[in-house]
Amino acid sequence: ALAQSAAEIFAHQALTGKHVLITAGPTREDIDPVRYITNHSSGKMGFSLAEAAAEAGAQVTLVCGPVHLPTPDRVKRVDVTSARDMLAACEAAMPCDVLIAAAAVADYRPEVSAAQKMKKDPNSADGMTLKLIRNPDILATIANRNDRPFSVGFAAETENLLAYATAKLRDKNLDLIVANDVANAAIGFNSDDNAITIIDRQQQQTSFPQTSKGKIARQLIDFIATHINKV
């Protein structure tokens, strides 16, 4: 029992001395002062990862969009709203040893965010057209810096999961990608459980079956700690 405890303590300090930057939750992109575009991310996975990384001895910065979650112990939390805010907060938190991008960042934002609430014409049944432009790619931006950290992305998809995940790993210059089937309500957005497949640069796949997001987070943090010590 004593040997086991010592082993556990050792395993839990696998990230001592490392700065781990984690993004979590959705972003909100304003259409006008009242309306916005967002997504179903609850932030639970990113917050579980922040807690697990802190337990593993890391110094943790958690940059999060609007979520209803308490800050884990010994984690520095930075609250943001839009994708551009999130990128700026991540850049301000650099350098780091590991980036885990668990946030569901809006790919697009309205080209114009109206200063006043947009009025519909009460005498018209016409629709309207919302022009969207691309947001900056936070993960690719950080993963392509000269001082790039060990970079871990998430692929939350409803179809073709492993194909999309592998392409994203390559296109964004990542070290690992975590594939997450959000079409399955039991393990998707806002659920308490998750099941993941981790893919590395050699396209080797490691799967963790469905369990709590807290346990998945500890498994993933252990996996990352093993990988960075191999790099």
Host H or E run for residue 188: none
Rounded CA gap, 64 and 83, in Å? 10
**229 flagged as catalytic:** no
Q: Of the candidates 36, 47, 150, 154, which one interacts with its own copies according to CB under 8 A?
A: 36
Rounded CA gap, 105 and 17, in Å? 28
Strand partners for 21 = 61, 99
Cβ 176 to its own copies shortest distance, Å: 18
Please tell me whether residue 69 binds its own copies under the rule CB under 8 A.
no
Rounded CA gap, 107 and 115, in Å? 22
Token pair for 98 = 């590991």
* Nearest CA-CA partner of 52 in 20, 92, 80, 17: 20
Please tell me whether residue 147 binds its own copies under the rule CB under 8 A.
no
Q: Which stretch binds its own copies (CB under 8 A): 1-9, 42-50, 126-134, 203-211?
A: 126-134
Q: Of the candidates 88, 94, 132, 162, which one interacts with its own copies according to CB under 8 A?
A: 132
Do β-strands 193-200 and 205-212 pair in parallel, antiparallel, or remain unpaired?
antiparallel
Cβ 16 to its own copies shortest distance, Å: 36
Which of 39/151 has CB closer to its own copies? Answer: 39
Q: Of the candidates 127, 209, 229, 231, which one interacts with its own copies according to CB under 8 A?
A: 127
How many residues touch its own copies under the rule CB under 8 A: the total is 41
Please tell me whether residue 131 binds its own copies under the rule CB under 8 A.
yes
Which of 8/171 has CB closer to its own copies? Answer: 171
Rounded CA gap, 60 and 171, in Å? 26
Please tell me whether residue 70 binds its own copies under the rule CB under 8 A.
no
Which of 189/208 has CB closer to its own copies? Answer: 189
Could you say which of 39, 135, 180, 194 is catalytic?
A: 39
Rounded CA gap, 124 and 34, in Å? 21
Rounded CA gap, 23 and 39, in Å? 15
Cβ within 8 Å of residue 55, ≥6 positions away: 12, 218, 221
Give contact residues for its own copies (rule: CB under 8 A). Answer: 31, 33-40, 68, 104, 106-108, 111, 116-117, 119-120, 122, 125-134, 156-159, 164, 167-168, 171, 182-183, 189
Point out the residues that are catalytic.
39
